[in-house]
Structure 1
């Protein structure tokens, strides 16, 4: 493994209610120095979850919500922050109930994904939820989420849908499709 650069200085150069921008001065092993900027969390450090909730052997739940970053309504997977003291699977079940109106009898942590590791420190835990049942919890969303579904056979068309742009969600869906195929649950 390569030697990580030496940190010469760190400074928060901008801050908001949600984001902090950290400037990091680095020296690489070859002597080259650079200043990087990255978005860092607000110090809660509890992380986030993204849930691939399977309605049956081939259909996953999608939600539709307003996204401030793109200023549009987008389709994605249910997701949210892990609360203090909450484990990944409990957070996934809670977020699924809040955003999609389903609970899951079976939850499995699959992997951790990042959005843009060059500029962001945040990562998200991907959870597979199966054996769903209807149950809704009150969440922190400003309006009810729209609900949709996607057949795992149609992921290529989903990638072409202008209302579905989140790369992590697409990666999670492909991961689940491949996993369920390997297990003999899903037949492509």
Structure 2
């Protein structure tokens, strides 16, 4: 069923945090006449990248880094913010050099991913990086990240690991694997 989007009668900023995320209150009217107030977090800036760096046709490079939210070391993909004036592929290549010590000659931006679209506007762009070469840039991590090669045909083992829990990384790997099998 296709529905008409609700009418936004007003958007009222509620708060702004240190990471430039604004909480907004939306005064909405739905197609059936019902009015409600919804809250959402609106991220400033162009978003982020999630990078799937392919060392070869079947080997992805993961990184292990400290995850403050879970207070443990977490295995995942290279990811980071898109800086002002950067494209998604430029940000992906920079983050790849900073976090994994590789650059990529071929970068394919596949799609955007959202984390909690019911209340957040943040988007992360999924980028597949291929034809890698060694190059390291200084990053903002407090320690060098461990780089862990992982075979795509062993995703069934990775997806059940307790230290691999970030949803964007999990989704990105399955999307990238299918895309690499049948590139458009």
TM-score normalised over the length of structure 2? 0.92
Instruction: Find the residue that maps to 1:168 and give its secondary structure.
Output: helix
Pairing 1:147–2:140 present:
no
Give the aligned partner of residue 70 of structure 1: 70
Structure 2 unaligned segments of length 5 or more: list them.
none
CA distance in 2, matches of 1:145, 1:23: 39
Q: CA–CA distance in 1 between the matches of 2:41 and 2:69?
A: 14
Aligned-residue RMSD, C-alpha: 1.4
- Residue segments in structure 1 that go unaligned for 5+ positions in a row: 184-188
Aligned residue-pair number: 181
Supply the distance in 2 between the matched residues of 1:13 and 1:87 (Cα, whole angstroms). 30
1:28 partnered with 2:51: no
Give the TM-score, by structure 1 length.
0.90
Match of 2:156 in 1: 156
Q: 2: distance between equivalents of 1:127 and 1:154?
A: 20
Question: Which has more strand, going by share of residues?
Answer: 2
Q: Any idea what the Cα deviations from partners look like across 1:77-108, whole Å, max 9, x if unmatched?
A: 10111111111211111110001100011111
CA distance in 1, matches of 2:39, 2:154: 38
Partner of 1:51: 51
Q: Distance in 2 between matches of 1:51 and 1:32?
A: 41
- The separation in 2 between residues aligned to 1:146 and 1:117, in whole angstroms, is 31
Tell me, yes or no, if structure 1 residue 127 matches structure 2 residue 99.
Answer: no
| Alpha-carbon separation, structure 1, partners of 2:15 and 2:84 | 25
| Distance apart, 1:69 and its partner CA | 2.7
In structure 1, the residue matched to 2:107 is 107
Moved over 3 A (4+): none
C-alpha distance in structure 2 between counterparts of 1:141 and 1:21, whole Å: 28
